[in-house]
Copies of this chain bind each other. A is one copy, B any other.
Amino acid sequence: MVWRDSSGKALDDYARPSVAVDVAVLTVTGDQLAVLVIDSERGLSLPGTFLHPRETLRDAAARALSSKAAITGLDFHQLGMFDDPDRDDRGWVLSMAHGAAIAREKLPHTSRLVSITDTGAHERLAFDHDSMAAEAVRDLRQRYRGAADPDHLLPEEFTLLELRRLHEAIFAHEFPKDTFRRRFIGDLVGTGERSSAETGRPAELFRVR
């Protein structure tokens, strides 16, 4: 049986776009947000791949990250479909941008990072990958507005100073330490002390509740 749409045109008669996925993997280096990029023939770009037959976008994103950046186990968020017909000079290619976040310590040491803000990356990226990365930053901020560390960018146990520095890197904005503590202390559960204080009183270690 051949399915036809309401105009009587058979489904297979439509020219079909290629569908791709690209992933903006964000991390925090020191006091800066950064996005993982790879070297490609078109310059720096986000890891991506074409969708395989009957594969889900999520699976394709995982495959791209695994094959091009040796990263597994991430949680992806759809950011939006980038669909400018001329965005790729190889032809008509739609690409679903995905966002993800990971602690820098879990990245392969060979990973290439580019620092970034919500206006875009600090180096030119190929295609429309700069807009994708900027969208990933907005998405990350949205999630960190409401929770302490939803993407586990910090290790299991951390101090409030470390949590605050993380938020300051994500939002590119300083937070007062007393207000910040009172804002998040209810979402955390304390443990023992931290002796690694080089100077001053050691800070308590917390976990997310």
Contacts and interface: CB of A to CB of B under 8 A. Distances in A.
A20 B50 CA distance: 18
Interface stretch (A80-88, A124-132, A160-168, A176-184): A80-88
B52 A3 contact: no
A5 B18 CA distance: 12
Given A16-B17, A19-B19, A50-B5, A57 B83 contact: yes
Interface residues of A, number: 32
A91 B11 contact: yes
Nearest to A53: B15
A109 interface: no
Contacts of A15: 53
Among A15, A16, A56, A90, max chain B CB count under 10 A is at: A16
Interface in A56-111: 56-58, 68, 78, 80-81, 83-85, 90-92, 94, 96
B18 A14 contact: yes
Given A17-B19, A19-B17, A50-B11, A56 B83 contact: yes
Nearest to A54: B85
A148 interface: no
Contacts of A56: 83-85
A6 B63 CA distance: 13
B16 A18 contact: yes
Interface in A1-56: 3, 5-6, 11, 14-19, 49-56
Interface of A: 3, 5-6, 11, 14-19, 49-58, 68, 78, 80-81, 83-85, 90-92, 94, 96
14 contacts: A11-B18, A11-B50, A11-B90, A11-B91, A14-B50, A15-B53, A19-B19, A19-B94, A54-B85, A54-B92, A56-B84, A56-B85, A57-B81, A81-B81
